[in-house]
Amino acid sequence: MRFRLATALTLMAVALAAATVASAAAGSTSLVPAGFELFAEGGTVQIVQDSVSSAIHPQAEGTLGKAVATMGTGPVGYALAASAWPGPTAADAGTLAVFAGAPSQATAVNDPVRAEARTGSGSPDATYASGPMQMHAHAEGAAAQAEALVQDESAPGTFSVGNQQATALSRVDGAKAASTATTRVDDITIGVVHIGAVVSEAVATVDGTTVAATGGTTVTGMTVGSVKTAVDETGVHVVGTDAANPAAASAVQQVLRQAGITMAVSEPVRQVGASTASYTAGSLIVTQKASDSVLVFAIGGAVARTALVLADAGPLPVPDAPALPGSAGGAPAAQAPSPTDVGSAVPPTPSAPASSSTAPVTATGRLAPAAVTRPFRPVRIPTGLLLLATTAVAIAAAKTYGGFGRILTEDPAACRRERSELP
């Protein structure tokens, strides 16, 4: 009877393995991008000036260091790096004039201090370097990235900043899309306020299984006068040895009021959907008011947005079957589908050299985007299917051997007699 029980259990294991293989063969599919839209932007210091007596509002505005990277279905990528960006209207005033009927020579008044690259339009790389300004932009394949570096900017009697860096990266790699933006501004002085550094990061990632949006802004090394302070969404606070001293807190607030300065970090914004992710890291907002004018500084901050729609490209390749004992070899391997087999779900993508890094580019070189590939996804066998297969085998075994109860409880002596009668 032990022989019958062992045989029944063996049949159960064989059937369970067969059900597992069948489920894996039927459920293994690859996912490829059917549509995507990515945006990443980092700006080091944005300045807005206005006056109540001005005929236009605001009087002036601009960004000292800016990096933008976008990627759309196609793929179509765009990258921009600028050390002093007046905004798209002022920067492309000449191009707008041409659309309005001016001669093509009017484009000469466009802002030349930038590096700009577009997918499929001229060189994939653009670089601008002059003195303390270094800018690099790259757009090729399914990746776009930009970096702007600026050193020591100041307006006498108003503000000064040290080194500034802004980076942006938008990239699609197989079934994963990610946008990343970072900014860093060092050694900031605005009136009686000094700040060691403001650092911001925003990351938005979407793939076939997860959606994530993360980031944040930190302000370090801040003082008002000679008092150590910190700033957050609620305003300025005294830290260090004077944190518990009400007189120190009152003195700091009085110094800020006399200088006409208010400060706070804007709140971050995080949004996550079924196939979309977005994160906006807060900026340090410093407002300085005079008699009839106002200066607003937005220091740091970063934005990342990603949207990705995936399509089923069909079953994954089936691996070679192992060779059976006594046979010449295994079963022939199935061929992987080519990009043209997928149909219209995958737009043609120019090949790009592979890279294991996703770090932003530097001003002296670029990071080659990784080729768009189809990642292998582990097959998950539903628990219900396994239980169903086990139950079916158990029923079949019970019918064949007259029931498991008989197998397990039959008289041992009878079992020995039956075994002795076997040939």
Per-residue tens of pLDDT for the chain, all 423 residues:
444 555 555 555 555 555 454 444 444 557 788 899 999 999 999 999 898 888 887 877 888 899 999 999 999 999 999 987 555 544 444 444 445 555 554 444 345 578 999 999 889 999 999 888 899 999 999 999 999 999 887 777 788 999 999 999 999 998 999 999 999 999 999 999 999 999 999 999 999 889 999 999 999 999 999 899 999 999 999 998 888 888 999 999 999 999 999 999 999 999 999 999 999 999 999 999 988 889 999 999 999 999 999 887 666 565 555 554 544 444 444 444 443 333 333 344 343 333 333 344 333 333 333 333 333 344 444 555 555 665 665 555 555 545 444 444 445 555 555 555 555
CB 419 within 8 A of CB 412: no
For residue 110, give the amino acid letter: N
Query: Phi and psi for 121 in degrees, rounded to 5?
Result: -125, 100
Distance, CA of 251 to CA of 226 (rounded, Å): 11
Distance, CA of 346 to CA of 349 (rounded, Å): 8
Count how many Cα atoms sit within 13 Å of the Cα of residue 297 in the half-sphere of its side chain: 26
Cα–Cα separations (whole angstroms), residue 297 to 47, 121, 261, 288, 321? 5, 35, 11, 8, 65
Report the DSSP beta bridge partners of residue 81: 67, 115
Please choose, from the candidates 78, 308, 278, the residue with its C-alpha nearest in 3D space to the C-alpha of residue 172: 308
Residue 25: what pLDDT? Answer: 47
H/E element holding 247? Answer: helix 246-259
Residue 209: what pLDDT? Answer: 87
For residue 227, give the amino acid letter: V
Cα–Cα separations (whole angstroms), residue 212 to 131, 144, 216? 39, 20, 14
Residue 293: what pLDDT? Answer: 87
Which distant-in-sequence residues (6+ apart) come within 8 Å of 303 by Cβ? 39, 40, 41, 42, 181, 202, 278, 279, 280, 281
Please choose, from the candidates 340, 338, 337, the residue with its C-alpha nearest in 3D space to the C-alpha of residue 316: 337
Residue 9: what pLDDT? Answer: 52
User: How many CB atoms are closer than 10 A to CB 260?
Assistant: 14
Distance, CA of 213 to CA of 288 (rounded, Å): 33
Question: Angle at Cα 62 formed by Cα 57 and Cα 65, nearest 5°?
Answer: 165
Query: Phi and psi for 96 in degrees, rounded to 5?
Result: -65, -35
Cα–Cα separations (whole angstroms), residue 254 to 122, 236, 248, 260, 405? 57, 12, 10, 10, 89
